[in-house]
Amino acid sequence: MTKLPEPDLSKAKEISRHYDFVRKQTITLCEPLQPEDYVVQPTGDVSPPKWHLGHTTWFFENFVLAKELPDYELFDERLNWFFNSYYESQGPRILRTSRGNMTRPSLDIVLAYRKHVDTEMKRLFAHHDGLLPRALGDLITLGLHHEQQHQELLLTDIKYILGTNPLHPALVESADILADKVAMPVVKQGWLAIPEGLYEIGYQGNDFCWDNELSVHKHYLEAFEIGDRLVTNGEYLRFMEDDGYARFELWQMEGIEWARGLDVKAPLYWYENDGQWQYYTLNGMRPIDLDVPVTHISWYEADAYARWADARLPTEQEWEIACRQNAREISKSKGWVENTRYHPQVKDVDQDHQFLGHAWEWTNSAYLPYPRYPRPEGALGEYNGKFMINQMVLRGGSCATPESHIRLTYRNFFQTDKRWQFTGIRLAR
């Protein structure tokens, strides 16, 4: 995968190049799959890869082409039923949990659907050549960021599909799942000190961002310290060996009931064989890398680990300010999906703090609206605004996140029991 040039949103040509890049990337990610892998939904959170291919395409057909391209004809009206995700305003849809039962439309049809929509989008761009209206350009850009979100879900869903199969097949086979030039063993975690202050929170630029990052507002922070790297597998293993999963005083009540009910005793994808821990990676099974950031843990586990370590999780505002003050490394991260390792990386010798591109870091902030957050009207108002309860914010972007998709102010969010994303831990105190 090559690096994406910064799009110039004012010009159709730039957006069109961005469109080609993102749409092609989705296909590239799926290339190693076998046809059967596209179909299943082994748990409610996971969607079949075929569904992601169709849904991201439906977004452009339904919100862009059907409204903006004269004489556009739907590829097949019946596909709305399949590929609408949760847009109440866009009509009925199959139950989310039935996605994995849908063998038809087959992959061939879905790929033809993508091709049809891409061709028509070209016609749309041609129609507006050089003069794409601002609102339309913004809508297409939104669709591309939406597709990039689904690229990350594609990878994590594929990881779940292959990683819970007893054969544990690899998606890719990289010689170098871990990059060079790292400090091994990683040095003891240090602390970055952030002074007290009345800070500004929220997105301040002119490029794309989600509605939930808007409304720049002041937020008072007491002085605090935050870890200069992520918690590693090795550190997490010590928590496990110290009976961390059984000691109720470390947990939230809801958390320990979750762990007991599901008999959780290790991160997702960890398997013990003859006393040795291995984990499934998209490169297949391998021994736990002690110096790699721990991932695939729930908020409950992150919270309990932090308490065990005599620390706590940072709030999302603390994270944002700490990251902003250490922004140097944003450009030099070794993580991101672009390196095609699909695995978090060991901390770099020249002081990368792992803020971006390794793991989504659980914070101790609930996902709630910023002051003055305006829930957008219409279908796109359903995008972020209707999920603002009983979820926690994650920050940072992971090894499965497209680099061009992430920002320091990006607010990701999941329920506290979710583990199939590349979720990790940074301590604060």
> With contact defined as beta carbons under 8 Å apart, do 336 and 400 qualify?
no
Q: Which amino acid is at 6?
A: E
> With contact defined as beta carbons under 8 Å apart, do 232 and 293 qualify?
yes
What gap in Å lies between CA 124 and CA 114, rounded to an integer?
Answer: 15
> With contact defined as beta carbons under 8 Å apart, do 69 and 124 qualify?
yes
Q: Is 214 in the site for a copy of itself (CB under 8 A)?
A: no
Q: Is 219 in the site for a copy of itself (CB under 8 A)?
A: yes
Q: Minimum distance between the CB of residue 419 and a copy of itself, rounded to whole angstroms?
A: 16
- Dig out the tokens for 418 from the structure: 């979710």
How far is the CA of 244 from the CAs of 21, 129, 240, 307, in angstroms? 45, 60, 5, 10
* Sole binder of a copy of itself in the list 17, 116, 217, 324 (CB under 8 A): 217
Q: Minimum distance between the CB of residue 337 and a copy of itself, rounded to whole angstroms?
A: 22
Q: Minimum distance between the CB of residue 255 and a copy of itself, rounded to whole angstroms?
A: 7
Q: Is 24 in the site for a copy of itself (CB under 8 A)?
A: no
* Sole binder of a copy of itself in the list 118, 286, 388, 407 (CB under 8 A): 388
Q: Minimum distance between the CB of residue 162 and a copy of itself, rounded to whole angstroms?
A: 8
Specify the 3-state DSSP secondary structure of 356.
coil
* Sole binder of a copy of itself in the list 167, 176, 275, 331 (CB under 8 A): 167
> With contact defined as beta carbons under 8 Å apart, do 165 and 33 qualify?
no
Q: Minimum distance between the CB of residue 180 and a copy of itself, rounded to whole angstroms?
A: 32
What gap in Å lies between CA 139 and CA 142, rounded to an integer?
Answer: 5
Nearer to a copy of itself, 21 or 224 (CB): 224
Q: Is 365 in the site for a copy of itself (CB under 8 A)?
A: yes
Q: Between 293 and 312, how does the x/- string for binding to a copy of itself read (CB under 8 A)?
A: ------xx--x---x----x
Q: Between 43 and 82, how does the x/- string for binding to a copy of itself read (CB under 8 A)?
A: -------x---------------------------x--xx
- Length of the chain counted residue by residue: 429
What gap in Å lies between CA 360 and CA 317, rounded to an integer?
Answer: 15
> With contact defined as beta carbons under 8 Å apart, do 295 and 422 qualify?
yes
Q: Is 249 in the site for a copy of itself (CB under 8 A)?
A: yes
Q: Is 254 in the site for a copy of itself (CB under 8 A)?
A: yes
What gap in Å lies between CA 149 and CA 147, rounded to an integer?
Answer: 5
* Sole binder of a copy of itself in the list 3, 104, 328, 332 (CB under 8 A): 104
Nearer to a copy of itself, 130 or 378 (CB): 378
> With contact defined as beta carbons under 8 Å apart, do 404 and 148 qualify?
yes
Q: Cis peptide before 374, with omega less than 30 degrees from 0? A: no
Nearer to a copy of itself, 234 or 381 (CB): 381
Site of tokens 């997105």 = 203
Contacts to a copy of itself from residues 267-286, by CB under 8 A: none
Q: Is 400 in the site for a copy of itself (CB under 8 A)?
A: no
Nearer to a copy of itself, 237 or 428 (CB): 428
Q: Is 100 in the site for a copy of itself (CB under 8 A)?
A: yes
Neighbours of 250 (CB within 10 A): 20
> With contact defined as beta carbons under 8 Å apart, do 301 and 244 qualify?
no
Q: Is 372 in the site for a copy of itself (CB under 8 A)?
A: yes
Specify the 3-state DSSP secondary structure of 27.
helix
Neighbours of 247 (CB within 10 A): 14
Contacts to a copy of itself from residues 120-159, by CB under 8 A: none
Q: Minimum distance between the CB of residue 145 and a copy of itself, rounded to whole angstroms?
A: 20
Nearer to a copy of itself, 250 or 292 (CB): 250
Site of tokens 């090559």 = 2
Q: Is 226 in the site for a copy of itself (CB under 8 A)?
A: no
> With contact defined as beta carbons under 8 Å apart, do 415 and 320 qualify?
no
Q: Please give the radius of gyration of the chain, using alpha carbons only, rounded to the nearest integer.
A: 22
Which of the stretches 66-74, 126-134, 215-223, 275-283 binds a copy of itself when contact is defined by CB under 8 A? Answer: 215-223
Specify the 3-state DSSP secondary structure of 156.
helix
Q: Is 111 in the site for a copy of itself (CB under 8 A)?
A: no
Task: Judge residue 285's burial from the number of C-beta atoms within 10 Å of its C-beta, 0-12 exposed, 13-18 middle, 19 or more buried.
Answer: middle
Which of the stretches 105-113, 231-239, 273-281, 342-350 binds a copy of itself when contact is defined by CB under 8 A? Answer: 105-113
Which of the stretches 19-27, 236-244, 333-341, 366-374 binds a copy of itself when contact is defined by CB under 8 A? Answer: 366-374
What gap in Å lies between CA 213 and CA 94, rounded to an integer?
Answer: 31
**What residues line the site for a copy of itself (CB under 8 A)?**
34-42, 50, 78, 81-82, 86, 88-89, 94, 98, 100-108, 161-162, 164-167, 169, 198, 217-220, 222, 248-249, 251-255, 299-300, 303, 307, 312, 364-366, 368-369, 371-372, 375, 377, 381-382, 386-390, 392, 416
